[in-house]
Amino acid sequence: MKLIKTGKTKDVYKDIDGNYVLIFKDSVTGFSSGQSDPGGNLVVGSVDGVAYGALKMSAYYFELLAKQGIQTHYISSDLSKNEMKVCPVKLFGSGDFTSGGLEFVLRYKASGSFVRRFSLYCREGQKLPKVFEVTLKDDSSDDPPVTQEILAALGLMSPVQYDIVRNKTILICDIIRDDLASRGLELIDIKLEFGLLDGVITLVDEISPGNMRVYKESEKLDYLSLSSLF
């Protein structure tokens, strides 16, 4: 396999069959304060079992979504190696796995960066009407949010593609929210990524504790506490 990218939480390799292999790491992301948070852009530590848990949870949800008829880039996983094999896709705003891209966020309650940006108008934990956001995947600019008009003006995503991704995001996140609720858990917010596979808008990347905030009663679950439930 050929190394394509070394990332914060995953390394990306190209396999001889043309597909990609994502190798998950035990990295935990967060902020310069050292606080772990799925919205953070810095690696703040390493915890044994994070990679295994992220892959196990991702494989579970990709397989669950496939049963619902939702196309993803997932092919297979090898938990013993922390490896996930995926189809090659063209990412929005990037083109491949090497740099850039877009992130699509759905918020059920106010938390994290949303509260920091809009603290004059909302409070932590305030219920929201399924707020959909798009951000640039750019650590150096702190993942700035972008509007539909900006995406179209920069040639990153057409208005039609935006509407499709928004609808897919809500559909997928509701499935994940309901599955978590069946376990007595509450999904606060979650971020996804999409790309094009043979011209079809397709869910990519991972679906793991590093993508979402989840609470059990009034307690926010950390990476291992959440993944241990799968």
Q: How many residues does the chain have?
A: 230
Q: Residue 56 has which token pair?
A: 């196990």
**Given this model, what pLDDT does residue 151 score?**
95
pTM: 0.91
Please check whether residue 186 is in contact with residue 221, taking contact to mean a CB–CB distance below 8 angstroms: no
The answer to whether 112 and 102 are in contact (CB under 8 A) is no
The pLDDT-based confidence of 137 (bands split at 50, 70, 90) is confident
Here the tokens at position 70 are 């939702």
Q: What is the domain partition of the chain in residue ranges? A: 2-227
Query: How far apart are the C-alpha atoms of 114 and 129, rounded to whole Å?
Result: 13
- Which residue has better confidence, 22 or 142? 22
**Residue-level pLDDT at 46:** 78
Provide the CATH topology of domain 2-227: D-amino Acid Aminotransferase; Chain A, domain 1 (3.30.470)
Q: Rounded mean pLDDT of 44-55?
A: 88
The larger pLDDT score, comparing residue 6 to residue 179, is at 179
Q: pLDDT per residue over 55-91, tens digit each?
A: 999 999 999 999 999 999 999 999 999 999 999 999 8
